[in-house]
Amino acid sequence: MSTTTPLPSRGTVLGFDFGTARIGVATGELETRLAQPLTTIQGEANELRFTAIGKLIAEWRPVAFVVGLPTTLDGAETDMTARCRRFANQLQGRLSLPVHLFDERLSSAEADEMLRELKHDWRARKQNLDALAAQRILQNFLDSLP
């Protein structure tokens, strides 16, 4: 896992909010340090997920990935933490780009609150939640860069 690989000053980064049923995806730019929600990949089949990710890579040509790392509020790891690490390892192994793990605590709650403030009903929130959570993870990562 390449969590210490230095990033270039310019380029696109894809951020992921990994889940067992869905993966939220966001895109961000290192130069502007701004992230935007992109899409949600539906489904649990690994090959289908990586086919969809491959299409995003061809379109966005990222220089690195950021994967949200879930932990409990006190920082303890969970079963999902191990799954996210496995997903990050697969990203790096299949695509040979640096992968940065980043704390995702409360990103989904923050995304849900943002959607509530925009007066989205629960159906619209559910549809947009994962991509917006990925955007929050990626934005927090970009904000943390020196």
Residue spans of the domains in the chain: they are 12-144
Higher pLDDT, 115 or 15: 15
Q: What is the chain's alpha carbon radius of gyration, rounded to the nearest angstrom?
A: 14
7: its two tokens: 């990033």
Q: What is the pLDDT of residues 91-124, one digit of tens each?
A: 999 999 999 999 886 555 555 565 556 555 655 5
Q: What is the pLDDT of residues 40-97, one digit of tens each?
A: 999 889 899 999 999 999 999 999 999 999 887 788 888 889 999 999 999 999 999 9
**So what's the pLDDT on residue 120?**
55
The CATH H-level superfamily of 12-144 is YqgF/RNase H-like domain (3.30.420.140)
| Cα distance between the two ends of the chain | 21
DSSP H stretches of helix in 22-119: 46-60, 79-95, 107-117
Contact 27, 66 (CB under 8 A): no
**So what's the pLDDT on residue 2?**
45
Full-model pTM: 0.85
